[in-house]
Amino acid sequence: ETGVTQTPRHLVMGMTNKKSLKCEQHLGHNAMYWYKQSAKKPLELMFVYNFKEQTENNSVPSRFSPECPNSSHLFLHLHTLQPEDSALYLCASRPGQGARQETQYFGPGTRLLVL
Amino acid sequence: AQSVTQLDSQVPVFEEAPVELRCNYSSSVSVYLFWYVQYPNQGLQLLLKYLSGSTLVKGINGFEAEFNKSQTSFHLRKPSVHISDTAEYFCAVRLNTDKLIFGTGTRLQVFP
């Protein structure tokens, strides 16, 4: 248990649906991340937020829309997804900057299936 | 450019045997290295990390890793594995404050 929670844990959606993934941490961390983990592929960084500001968008399609209303919450809004978007979506948080602050702590993930 | 190579995609081993999971990296900046473990249907959990100091790093669950600068390696070892160690193991190197570069993972399968 790392203190990073994600809901829902599983999600099935059609290509025309709109849904949102939620990530929450009350660890006092300053940075939050979304990653995509697909079978037989390396972990893909999607978005990074530092102090609620987006600092990284790793060429992610616009059908994925992140939102960070405060340092403790991160959302990933999904709309008109494709079957190839089916994957495990992982949220992570990081305490701050500097050697001992840069460890990332991961949530359990949301398993997404797009039909 | 930084990169991480995990040469072994799968490592089968019998229970109570020793195991080594290999990780090689390339980096042009200060090296911070990490090993994460992912159990089935779960997120990634930090096993251990090297930031500086002693090159032998001890982590949770009896795992340890040795930072070897000359060989640019950070291999993970455990002297005696358990069935419960069956999982996917990921090596990662710091790219910058915001980013880690992950390897493709090694699936450790422990047999009774």
**Confidence at residue B13, expressed as pLDDT on a 0 to 100 scale:** 97
The C-alpha of B22 sits at a distance from chain A's nearest C-alpha, in angstroms, of 16
Does the pLDDT of residue A58 top 90, yes or no? no
Judged by CB atoms closer than 8 Å, whether chains meet at B46 and A105 is answered as: yes
Residue A17 burial by CB count (10 A; 0-12/13-18/19+): exposed, middle or buried? middle
Q: Say if B97 is an interface residue toward chain A (CB within 8 Å).
A: yes
Per-residue pLDDT reduced to its tens digit, A97-110 = 776 777 899 999 99
Q: Do B43 and A100 touch (CB under 8 A)?
A: no
Radius of gyration from C-alpha coordinates of chain A: 14
CA distance A26 to A75: 15
pLDDT in tens, B5-60: 999 999 999 999 999 999 999 876 778 999 999 998 889 999 999 988 889 999 99
Q: What is the mean pLDDT of chain A?
A: 92
Distance CA B45, CA B72 (A): 23
Determine, for residues B34 and A103 on separate chains, whether the beta-carbon distance falls below 8 Å.
yes
Q: Which of B42, B52, B97 sits opposite A97 (nearest CB)?
A: B97
pLDDT exceeds 80 at position A21: yes
Distances (CA, A) of B107 to A40, A64, A84, B7, B20: 11, 30, 23, 11, 12
Q: Closest approach of chain B CAs to the CA of A15, in angstroms?
A: 24
Query: By three-state DSSP, how is residue A99 classified?
Result: helix
pLDDT given for residue A2 in this prediction: 67
Residues 6+ apart with CB under 8 A from B21: B6, B8, B11, B75, B76, B77, B89, B91, B106, B108
CA distance B60 to B80: 14
The proportion of chain A whose per-residue pLDDT surpasses 90, expressed as a percent, equals: 74
Q: Does A97 touch chain B (CB under 8 A)?
A: yes
At residue B106, φ and ψ (nearest 5 deg) are: -130, 125
Q: Give the Cα separation of B104 and B4 in Å (integer).
A: 8
Q: What is the mean pLDDT of chain B?
A: 92
Minimum Cα–Cα distance from B39: chain A residue: A108
Report the pLDDT value the prediction gives residue A1, as an integer from 0 to 100: 60
pLDDT of residue A97: 75
Q: With a cut of 90, say whether residue A40 has pLDDT above it.
A: no
Residue in chain B lying closest to A109 (CA): B43
